[in-house]
A = this chain, B = another copy of it.
């Protein structure tokens, strides 16, 4: 059973419909995807099924319903699908997840702190062993946390594969904060060992991020991502 929910950024009720279907898809075992009208896949669906209204629900390549379904309606539509075993992955849609939003906020805070050095000292570089401390607030703080946020939000959307979230994602963010703060404290206090320990934690955090992104980029099912059309062309009905 293949269920596609057609949505768009500008459509307020789409966010509501997505929330309902996201919950149902985590309880029942069926093939679920949120399709964005702004992407070629969405445009292809619109023109193939001549859809005129969103949110639109497409089940096995036929228009099944429009508008927002209640939880009960959604469950009855997928009535045949078996219950799902608890899984730590989730599909990504329009709204950024909680860990993603937390990473954006962290990123902005580090940008602000690094910007303070730029505004007050006029440079991201200091003297002595602390020379690169503000620079790392910018690169390992602002830039890396922004990559964490956009990576877990955009790569699953681009590839259509789910991303692992939950405890693993929070642990990654926690390690990244602890690592960066230890690294910068080490630079300022002149303690090479504190900086080294911080660098190792930050590296482990990035490794966790890379491990989370790996199955998003290279999913297990062979062929699932193999025979794709060139970038930007519109896929014909499959």
CB neighbours (8 Å) of A10 from chain B are 8, 37-39, 42-43
In the bound complex, what is the Cα–Cα distance between A39 and B37 (angstroms)?
A: 16
Tell me the number of copies of this protein.
Answer: 2
Asked if A52 is at the interface (CB within 8 A of a chain B CB), the reply is: yes
Whether A43 contacts B9 by the Cβ 8 Å rule is no
In the bound complex, what is the Cα–Cα distance between A8 and B8 (angstroms)?
A: 10
Mask: chain A, 51-91; 1 = CB below 8 Å from B; 0 = not? 01100000000000000000000000000000000000000
Asked if A12 is at the interface (CB within 8 A of a chain B CB), the reply is: yes
Which residues from 6 to 49 on chain A have a C-beta closer than 8 Å to any C-beta of chain B? 8-10, 12, 37-39, 42-43
Secondary structure class of chain A's binding surface, majority of residues: loop
CB neighbours (8 Å) of A38 from chain B are 9-10
Chain B, residue nearest A39 (CB)? B10
A8, A9, A10, A53: which has the most chain B beta carbons within 10 Å?
A: A10
Chain B, residue nearest A38 (CB)? B10
A71–chain B nearest beta-carbon distance, Å: 24
In the bound complex, what is the Cα–Cα distance between A32 and B53 (angstroms)?
A: 26
Whether B12 contacts A43 by the Cβ 8 Å rule is yes
A17–chain B nearest beta-carbon distance, Å: 16
In the bound complex, what is the Cα–Cα distance between A38 and B9 (angstroms)?
A: 7
Chain B, residue nearest A8 (CB)? B10
CB neighbours (8 Å) of A37 from chain B are 10
In the bound complex, what is the Cα–Cα distance between A43 and B12 (angstroms)?
A: 9
In the bound complex, what is the Cα–Cα distance between A37 and B12 (angstroms)?
A: 11
CB neighbours (8 Å) of A12 from chain B are 43
CB neighbours (8 Å) of A43 from chain B are 10, 12
In the bound complex, what is the Cα–Cα distance between A113 and B42 (angstroms)?
A: 38
In the bound complex, what is the Cα–Cα distance between A43 and B9 (angstroms)?
A: 11
Point out residues on A near B: beta carbons under 8 Å: 8-10, 12, 37-39, 42-43, 52-53
Q: Which 5 A-B pairs have CB atoms at the shortest separation, nearest pair first?
A: A10-B38, A10-B37, A52-B53, A52-B52, A10-B43
